[in-house]
Amino acid sequence: MVSIRIVCVGNLKEKYWKDAIAEYGKRLSRFCNFEVIETPESDPEKEKTAIIKHLQGYIFSLCVEGKQCTSVEFAQKIEKVMQTDSKITFVIGGSDGLSEEVKKLSASRLSFSQMTFPHQLMRVILAEQIYRAFTISNNITYHK
């Protein structure tokens, strides 16, 4: 079974964010091993050491200069990656983004929008899109 990890800067303080991540974690458990790793927030150069030690397998960095794609394209990308990697890591930076070093270690850079989202919300959006990708790949009607 594939392992999917989200490495993110900062932690969730509000119960509703924690509940949302827990719900998607539960839903994803039928498709993959899913985990979220939180690292301390400071500035991108200080954050990079904590982020880098948790990177495994195929690495996606979420950043403004990343490529945007549809949910179907995202599902296809994950399917393709799973053919060669059993571990996938997504990285979400803090309010000041990711260091260039972390971005350079990434196999892919993703952008979910030209808009800016709080990193707590982005974590939930990413978890939902990962779940959506698995439902698309497995012909489950959730995504319609």
Question: What order do you get walking across the sheet with 108-110 strand by strand?
Answer: 33-39, 3-9, 87-92, 58-67, 108-110
The CATH number of whichever domain residue 63 belongs to comes to 3.40.1280.10
**Residue 117 pLDDT > 80, yes or no?**
yes
Instruction: Bin 36: left if φ > 0, else alpha if -120 < ψ < 50, else beta.
Output: beta
For residue 108, give the 3-state DSSP assignment: strand
9-48 pLDDT, tens digit per residue, is: 999 889 999 999 999 999 999 999 999 999 999 888 889 9
- Counting the structural domains of the chain, the total is 1
57-103 pLDDT, tens digit per residue, is: 999 999 989 999 999 999 999 999 999 999 999 999 988 889 999 99
> What's the pTM value of the predicted model, to 2 decimals?
0.94
For 34, the domain range is 3-143
Q: Running DSSP on this structure, what letter comes out for residue 110? A: E
